[in-house]
Each structure stands twice: as structure tokens, then as C-alpha cells.
Amino acid sequence: MLFFRKKKDEKLEQVKQEIFSKIKPILSKMLEVDEEKITPKARIAEDLGADSLDSVDITIKLEEVFNIEILDEDVEKMKTVDDILTYLAHNKEG
């Protein structure tokens, strides 16, 4: 059973890395920060300077790029870039 979990965790990390490579330039452009500052541990508001309007804009862009709908209550839970990666990895189409 542990073997299957490890494989699943590895697959999740691989998907998150693929998503990260897509959203890193998006976040950089939208928040006007260097890509180097965008790491999975970066806090969206505190480290990257996003305000509530930025959060709305980012959400709309992610919905377009990943062809999903992100609920407001889910957006409120996304505090770090990794939170976004995890959410998208579990909810993206395809």
C-alpha cells in the first residue's frame, strides 16, 4: 500500500511542477515581480504583494488557462503558490 501512495505522491509532484512552469510567468507578469521571487513557498499577499483585486485577476486568468471554475471559498484558502499548485493539480481538466 505504501508503494502505491509513493507513486501517487510522485505523480502529484510531477503534475505540480508542470503547473508551476505554466503559472510562474503568469504570476510574475500580473504581480510585476521577478520570476525568482515566485516559489512554491511564496505567500501570495505577503511575499508577492497581491491585493484582493490581484487575487480576482489571478483567479480569472487561472480559470481561463486551466479551463476550470475556482470557487470563491477555495480562493480564500489559497495563501501560497503551493496552495494554488495543489488545487490546480487536483482540479484541472485532463
| Catalytic entry in 9, 47, 51, 83 | 51
Grid cell for residue 36: 525568482
Q: Using CA atoms, how far apart are residues 59 and 3, in angstroms rounded to an integer? A: 35
Among left, alpha and beta (phi > 0; psi -120 to 50; other), residue 81 is alpha
Say whether 82 is catalytic.
Answer: no
Q: Which residues are catalytic?
A: 51
